[in-house]
Chain A
Amino acid sequence: MTATTPDLAAGPGASEALPVLQLRGIWKTYSTGTVHVHALRGVDLDVHAGEYVAIMGPSGSGKSTLMNVIGCLDVPTAGQYVLDGEDVAHLSDNALADIRNQRIGFVFQQFNLLPTQSAWRNVELPLWYARVKASERKQRALDALARVGLAERAHHKPGELSGGQQQRVAIARALVTDPALILADEPTGNLDSISTADVLGLLDELHAAGRTIVLITHEAEVAARAQRVVHVFDGGIAGIDEKAATP
């Protein structure tokens, strides 16, 4: 960290209004041989606790790359990312695994469920890595499935569920560890309008319960649920639509 860069990882005494996510000058460059693709070109973004932020942009603009950086699934080529007051660059592999496990819930566009495991086994997966006892794991997994309205499908495998139901299982998995941040990459991209409404309703509930939500989408009506819409274009932020105080 150079002297010219402001120290974002403020020590104790910083106000509670400090953003949970702070991105400063984030670059992500993919190099294959002599070809360099700049997926992100110096992104600055703040997200505050309890905010509902949508990220919109055309295909290939860098939305998923941005979400992967936010979710600690990928490391930026340059720039500073401070999560909950901690500079992610200084964290070990294990610390990052623990952050993903305890503070972040992922909802992927492709669902990413284990096909050989039943719904509740899929949902309990993050709890294994959180060292939760077996009996408690099962109870919490069933509770989470009940919250997404799939209590009676707990013993079905993903192949026996519809796309919308699979995505709800994935949401149950994202919320089972009770994380503060939910990251959803086009969670409704593969769903019909009724399933989309279900999933968005669930995200609204989670937001109402105080969680921070970052949602990636193509569709304006999906983005309309968020308090703030960040427009990404060609690896940079093209503009931010601030909505008036919605709850």
Chain B
Amino acid sequence: MMTWWETLRLALDAIVAHRVRSILTTLGITIGIAAVTLSVGMAQGATASISSEIGSLGSNLLTVQAGYFSHDGGQPMDPSTMPTLSMEDAEALSDPTIAPDIAAAAPAIQSGFELAARDTSIGTQAEATTPAWLAVQSRTLAVGEFFTPEQYDDGAAVVVLGSNSASQLFGDPGAAVGQTVTANSTSLLVIGVLEQSGGMMSTDDLAVIPLTTYRDRLSWGEEPIGAIYLQATSADRLTQAHQEAAALLAGRRGAATSEEAGIMIVSQQSLVQAMEQVTNVLTLLLGGIAAISLVVGGIGVMNIMLVSVQERVREIGLRKALGARRRTILAQFLTEAAMLALVGGALGLALSAGVAWLVTTLAEFPVPVSLPTVLLALGVSAAIGLVAGSYPASRASRLAPIDALRRE
């Protein structure tokens, strides 16, 4: 038996002796490993950016909505029996004696608005709500003020714009305050512009007005409340706040559960979990497809090892004639196959690191290639080499010395 170092040197010699063939063989593994690490990295990058996105929306925010969402397969409903939310629901939810873990509740009606300034007009999302909205949504103002309880009670004709809407209408968000915009021929005074919320799920195309103003001047008929935003007293009271809201709303409707009453309460965390599930499936799917290419690469190594054994039958015969034991021959060919695959894996990692760097810098989309991924990729490529090499290697080691020597 030779030492491991000598076995390695021998394998390296054989690989270098057939340079071109070795490179072509490792190409399969290289591409496979690069595909796996890149797709896993991309999926992980997507997961990370989505979670941080949702996390930035506020971790103690709950959203209550009404409507039948699941079990009955979306059959059309009689509008008179459709579950709805009301101002009284919002008032009850903000009562600390009934729901001690809910800090504040902000009812809101969402609708599309056509907003016109002096020379432009834009379509934007309007939120008609109460002064509590700002705190509940964890938003702050870039310039100006949010509407006060007094302005709310008076149904004042004021509006707070999201930063995108403000810059679209007035060029510069700072210039918006004090200007007038028109919605459905109602003039509204811009009293503030919200700080950018940032992120992909942008909520910067927005116009926030008092709910009273909306009901008095902008809506036709009695529109029901579309959503109630709830702020838990703290992030770790979120579950309790969720339960209290569910129990309260179900109780008010004489139903056993909030689901039965047609009420859905969504937390940011459940959104995060749902998104993570989606991206996990994505990771598996992408990784799985890439893994197939890795298997194809492994078959390539096996094929070349078989050819290599065929080509070197005389060499094997000679080595056996000179006293090589079966295990020594086996070790030699296994090492060669593993090394071939490892070199391919290392090249694949280098390739994926390069592509990841390019994507990160050019597309500003993070593609993390983590150490566990690297180690796993190298381990997998070595394993592929061993599996792919074991059949040819054991065939080589079993040859009778004279049969091998005599072959041409």
Question: Which residues does chain B contribute within 8 Å of A93, judged by CB atoms?
Answer: 325-326
State the CA gap A126–B322 with chains docked (Å). 5
A130 contacts B323, CB within 8 Å?
yes
Question: Which residues does chain B contribute within 8 Å of A68, judged by CB atoms?
Answer: 402
State the CA gap A14–B319 with chains docked (Å). 35
B402 contacts A129, CB within 8 Å?
no
A116 contacts B325, CB within 8 Å?
no
| A-B pairs, 9 with minimum CB distance | A101-B323, A129-B323, A73-B402, A74-B402, A126-B322, A97-B325, A116-B17, A73-B401, A68-B402
Residue A98, interface by CB 8 Å: yes
Question: Which residues does chain A contribute within 8 Å of B358, judged by CB atoms?
Answer: none
B interface SS class: helix
Residue B315, interface by CB 8 Å: yes
B405 contacts A134, CB within 8 Å?
no
Which residue on chain B has the smallest CB distance to residue A176? B322
B318-358 residues at the A interface, CB under 8 angstroms: 318-326, 328
A106 contacts B402, CB within 8 Å?
no
B322 contacts A100, CB within 8 Å?
yes
A94 contacts B326, CB within 8 Å?
yes
Residue A29, interface by CB 8 Å: no
Question: Which residues does chain B contribute within 8 Å of A130, judged by CB atoms?
Answer: 323
A97 contacts B400, CB within 8 Å?
no
A-B contact pairs, 28 of them (CB 8 A): A68-B402, A73-B321, A73-B405, A74-B400, A93-B326, A94-B325, A97-B320, A97-B323, A97-B324, A97-B325, A97-B326, A98-B325, A100-B321, A100-B401, A101-B322, A102-B323, A108-B405, A112-B318, A112-B321, A112-B405, A125-B319, A128-B2, A129-B2, A129-B322, A129-B323, A129-B324, A130-B323, A173-B322
Which residue on chain B has the smallest CB distance to residue A73? B402
State the CA gap A117–B320 with chains docked (Å). 17
State the CA gap A182–B322 with chains docked (Å). 12
State the CA gap A114–B323 with chains docked (Å). 15
B285-328 residues at the A interface, CB under 8 angstroms: 314-315, 318-326, 328
Q: Encode contact with B along A122-140: 1 for CB under 8 Å, 0 otherwise.
A: 0001101111001000000
Among B17, B319, B328, B401, chain A packs the most CB atoms within 10 A around the CB of: B401
Chain A proximity of B216: nearest CB distance (Å): 93
State the CA gap A93–B315 with chains docked (Å). 18
Residue A71, interface by CB 8 Å: yes
State the CA gap A117–B13 with chains docked (Å). 9
Chain A proximity of B35: nearest CB distance (Å): 34
| A116-B13 contact, Cβ under 8 Å, with A74-B400, A74-B402 | yes
Question: Which residues does chain A contribute within 8 Å of B405, judged by CB atoms?
Answer: 73, 108, 112
Question: Which residues does chain B contribute within 8 Å of A108, judged by CB atoms?
Answer: 405
A71 contacts B321, CB within 8 Å?
yes
Residue B114, interface by CB 8 Å: no
> Given A73-B401, A112-B405, 5 more contacts at CB 8 Å?
A73-B402, A97-B324, A100-B320, A100-B401, A129-B322
State the CA gap A131–B323 with chains docked (Å). 11
Question: Which residues does chain A contribute within 8 Å of B402, judged by CB atoms?
Answer: 68, 73-74
Which residue on chain A has the smallest CB distance to residue B401? A73
Residue B6, interface by CB 8 Å: yes
Among A117, A128, A131, chain B packs the most CB atoms within 10 A around the CB of: A128
B349-408 residues at the A interface, CB under 8 angstroms: 400-402, 405
Question: Which residues does chain B contribute within 8 Å of A74, judged by CB atoms?
Answer: 400-402
Among A71, A102, A116, A131, chain B packs the most CB atoms within 10 A around the CB of: A116
Question: Which residues does chain B contribute within 8 Å of A116, judged by CB atoms?
Answer: 13, 17
Chain B proximity of A157: nearest CB distance (Å): 11
State the CA gap A128–B7 with chains docked (Å). 10
A106 contacts B6, CB within 8 Å?
no
Q: Encode contact with A along B201-234: 1 for CB under 8 Å, 0 otherwise.
A: 0000000000000000000000000000000000
State the CA gap A116–B13 with chains docked (Å). 9
A131 contacts B325, CB within 8 Å?
no
State the CA gap A68–B328 with chains docked (Å). 22
Question: Which residues does chain A contribute within 8 Å of B17, judged by CB atoms?
Answer: 116
Residue B271, interface by CB 8 Å: no
State the CA gap A165–B319 with chains docked (Å). 21
A134 contacts B6, CB within 8 Å?
yes
Question: Which residues does chain A contribute within 8 Å of B142, judged by CB atoms?
Answer: none
Residue B1, interface by CB 8 Å: yes
The listed residue (A112, A117, A126, A134) touching B323 by CB distance below 8 A is: A126
Chain A proximity of B147: nearest CB distance (Å): 85
